[in-house]
Structure 1
Amino acid sequence: MRNRGWAGVAAVLALGAVQACGGEGLRVSTAPEADDLTVCVGHRPVNSLPDRDDGTPLMRVVVHVEDLARKRYGAVYTGLSVDEDDSAADIWRIPSDAFDTAVCEAAVQGVTLRLHDTDVNGRTLTRLGDRIVDDMDRWDGRFQLREVGSDERGFVMVGVDDPATAEPILKKAYGAKNAPYIRVEYADQAELLDEG
């Protein structure tokens, strides 16, 4: 999970059409200029979800969404990030009416869920990232692989010393099917911190 600020979301929400949807007390807004964005604004009582983590309404919903994804929706769930400033979570998933309904019904009062479309699930990204890490020494002499991590937005971020060299090599090595999910960026050499 990564905390992010989301500039401009208020404008998108204000332009969205609000309509009644499936769950009791649930409002869903879809902004016309953001085809891949569905917004659920919770109205259920906060105590309708178990008190977990730090007990804030947002964290209760986040833990619940992660549990749902792990237990029943791993085939469509990509990941999420938390926006504490706006009491919101951004959730990326392969579009699924069942998952969207389950997630939106979990939204409690004061919490907004923003659902974004992807075409890949988190399991696939994890496997791809693991393959890249397992091949770490394969690239010696051509570029240095410094970081690898799945990003909840639907790709594997690969940090290297020379992105221009590394990107075509990595995309070719893992095939056309995986190439769209590999993003290569420059990453500094990791350094040990002096604790003295």
Structure 2
Amino acid sequence: MKKLSSTKGATGAAITAALALGTLQGSAAGSVGGESASTSTSASPTVCVGTQPVRSLPGPGTEVGPPDSTPLYRVLAYVDRTARARHSTVFTGLSVDDGDRAADVYRIPSKAFDADICGAAEKGVTVRLHDTDISQVDLDALAARISADMDRWNDTFQLRAVGVDSAGFVFVGVDDPAAAEPVLSKAFGRKHIRVEHMEQARLYR
């Protein structure tokens, strides 16, 4: 079984890859076993535009990774780092929209968190704050519970992937969603789980 996570890793190439995964998963949010997934309490995000001066780039000869080289990725790194340190009870996840130079931040509504993140955003960066009703800490715990039971369902379906999505749910990849969804919903609740078909991983030579 493959375990995924959308926002693990806060620096260098790690955050770039993690955010790309978060964007991929988050953009697909919608249905769980044919029913609507509850990942947000508000369809319209709260939007703020950065006002902080754009930092000057380091001088010649200084190596700068993608998270440090643009205002957008500096904001993403700040959100990831600060949310875990100060706002872990409300932070759910984040993803990147390079085209719009925007950071999509998912959190349980919090004036303190919003003020912190919006106040740190640099000019040219848009922060879109999406409402959820669960923190990443609780999502991680739910994902761990599902992963721990991976062999429990072998007679009914194959559990192939479990991962926390930035939008506020746990993605569960299985061979047979129709068989898996009612079983997993009964065991762990329906609200924060999304069940989808996933092919068995293969090694190509």
TM-score w.r.t. the length of structure 1 is 0.78
C-alpha distance in 2 between matches for 1:85 and 1:36:
19
Q: Percent identity?
A: 54
Could you report, residue by residue, the CA deviation over 1:110-141 in whole angstroms, capped at 9, with x for unpaired residues? 11000000000001111111111111100011
Task: Select the structure of larger CA radius of gyration.
Answer: 1
Pair 1:45-2:59 in alignment = no
2:159–2:172: 8 Å Cα contact kept in structure 1? yes
Determine which structure has greater relative contact order: mean sequence separation of CA pairs < 8 Å that are 6+ residues apart, divided by chain length. 2
Alpha-carbon deviation of 1:55?
1.6
Q: What do the CA deviations read for 1:126-169 (whole angstroms, capped 9, x no partner)?
A: 11111111111000110000111000100000010110110110
Unpaired segments ≥5 residues, structure 2: 1-17, 28-41, 59-63
The one of 118, 128, 151 aligned to 1:114: 128
Count of residues in correspondence between the two structures: 165
* SS state at 1:190 partner: coil
Counterparts of 1:1-196 in structure 2 under 5 Å?
1-3=18-20, 4=23, 36-47=44-55, 53-174=67-188, 178-194=189-205
Q: Distance in 1 between matches of 2:99 and 2:68?
A: 16
Unaligned runs of 5+ in 1: 8-33
DSSP 3-state at the match of 1:63: helix
Query: How much has 1:43 moved relative to structure 2?
Result: 2.1
Secondary structure at the aligned position of 2:191 is classed as helix
SS of the residue 1:59 aligns to:
helix
Q: Distance in 1 between matches of 2:129 and 2:181?
A: 29
